[in-house]
Amino acid sequence: MVLLKVLDQGVLLVTGPFKINGVPLRRVNARYVIATKTSIPLEGLDQATIDKVGGEKYFTRDKKADKKGSEEAFMSEGKGQQKKEVSGERAQDQKKVDEGLLKTIRKEAMLQEYLKSQFSLRNGDKPHAMVF
């Protein structure tokens, strides 16, 4: 992932970019992130979009009209899960951020493959001693 901005209370705004590894714009607690030495210049990004996405109201959920205990909710349980749809505004914001990042990432050799690769820790691994 690519760190875009540090938000309030130790939360980080990150993205994949989505076209490379499928990670959308999202907030992540800093405790779950392992930093690396690799850096990507963010000059080509639209700063207004990043500020809008970093706002407090951007990631709030819409309140559902159905209550958990309502009869309609009970009757619709057997019909299966409906796929969540991404709002058009969020999709446009993702495209704007990805467009600037992809231009920069394609300039660096092997950076796209680095961002595509999967990473995991096993027992005995010491992330503080690793160098990327």
Q: Percent of the chain at pLDDT above 70? A: 84
Backbone angles phi, psi at 116, to 5 degrees: -75, -25
Q: Is residue 62 part of a domain?
A: no
pLDDT tens digits, 91-126? 999 999 999 999 999 999 999 999 999 888 899 999
Q: Is residue 27 part of a domain?
A: yes
Q: Is residue 69 part of a domain?
A: no
Quote the number of domains for the chain.
Answer: 1
Q: CB atoms < 10 A from the CB of 45, how many?
A: 22
Q: What is the pLDDT of residue 10?
A: 84
Q: What is the pLDDT of residue 128?
A: 85
Which residues are paired to 12 by β-bridges? 6, 28
Residue with tokens 């500020």: 51
Average pLDDT of 17-35?
Answer: 93
What band does 66 get if pLDDT is binned at 50, 70 and 90? very low
Q: CB atoms < 10 A from the CB of 62, how many?
A: 6
Q: Domain range holding 44?
A: 1-56+88-118
